[in-house]
Amino acid sequence: MTRTFADTKMISAIVVTHGRLGAEFVATAHKILGDFSGVYSLSNEDKTPQMLAEEIEHIMDHGGSDDAFILLVDFLYGSCGHATLAVERNHRNVHVVSGVNLPMLLAFLNKRNEVPFARLPAELAARGRDSIQSVDTDQL
Amino acid sequence: MAVKLARIDDRLIHGQVILGWVPSVKPDRIVVANDRVAGSDWERKFYSSCVPPEVNVSFATVAEAARQISADLYQTEQLIVLLESAQDTLALIGGGVELKEVNVGGLHYREGSVELLPFVFLVHEERNALRELVKRGVTLSAQDVPSNPAKIINSLVV
């Protein structure tokens, strides 16, 4: 029997970034939304893409076999993108969304229990994109 | 042949190369000389998508890249050649490519490696290969990005 994304039980996220960006995104989300689980961060610092991919898989190993993961990446065209896409290729329950920002991470936390996994990546990308605006106070 | 920059970096194409070295060197082409990537469709596509459209990119095994470059296949182009390891660089030179200077841009910590610089960790085989490069007259210039100073590390690996 072919399993579908609807079978996924819990949707977790790993924020994979340069430097301490990912850890700070998660820490800031905790300050805004309080306690939550299933959100991790990894830095590419001092790692090859292969080492970073191994660390992503190590985190995923702690989840259940029916769990799904969204990999939120700061910059697709580099080691973070390379590592996350390498993992996505090998797992049916993983999807990469690039250009992570705070609204995108908050949207993940608010929507992961409401939106099916198959639709969640596109919704997160849209939320992240919509939050980027050139703001003219006269137009508010 | 016009290899303007030959760089050892175990991340191959990434931000430091695209945002740092490409604007500085202004190459016509990036040659990724790597056996694994040459045989991986998705990695070739991924790395290609990282490169700005005005720069050509090609992928070849180390042996193929050595043949192509030494046969002047790219004679009209200025090249950045990216290599994953010192051993691959030695193989490229062994295949007929003349390099006076090699940029050592990033070799990350691995089991059993020793730190030479914050962005250069060497396992035994790597140090031996760098030593051999020095014996062949290559200047090893450690520099992660063009805006940071270069450090000649020849005396540190012999």
The model's pLDDT over A124-139, given as tens digits with 9 standing for 90+, comes to: 999 999 999 998 888 7
Cβ atoms within 10 A of the Cβ of A130, count? 11
Instruction: Determine the pLDDT at residue A8.
Output: 63
Number of inter-chain CB pairs under 8 A, A vs B: 31
d(CA A52, CA A82): 9
Q: Do A47 and B108 touch (CB under 8 A)?
A: yes
Count helices and strands (H / E) in chain B. Answer: 8, 9
Confidence of residue A1 (pLDDT cuts 50, 70, 90): very low
Residue A5 pLDDT more than 60? no
Between A75-79, A136-140, B90-94, B117-121, the lowest mean confidence (pLDDT) is in: A136-140
Rounded to 5 degrees, what are φ and ψ at A8?
-65, 140
Strands B114-117 and B120-122: antiparallel
Cβ contacts of A78 on chain B, cutoff 8 Å: 11, 14-15, 18, 50
- Residue B91: is its pLDDT beyond 70? yes
Q: Select from B118, B113, B147, B149 the least CA-distant residue to B19.
A: B147
Count Cβ atoms within 10 A of the Cβ of residue B10 and give its class: 0-12 exposed, 13-18 middle, 19 or more buried: buried
Which of B11, B49, B109 lies closest to A49 in CB terms?
A: B11
Instruction: Name the residue facing B109 among A46, A81, A89 (closest C-beta).
Output: A46
- Predicted TM-score (pTM) of the model is 0.88
CA closest to B52 among chain A residues: A77
Cα–Cα distance between B33 and B150 in angstroms, integer? 23
User: Does the distance separating the beta carbons of B46 and A48 come in below 8 Å?
Assistant: no
Record the tokens describing residue A24, joined without a space.
């700070």
State yes or no: ipTM above 0.85.
no
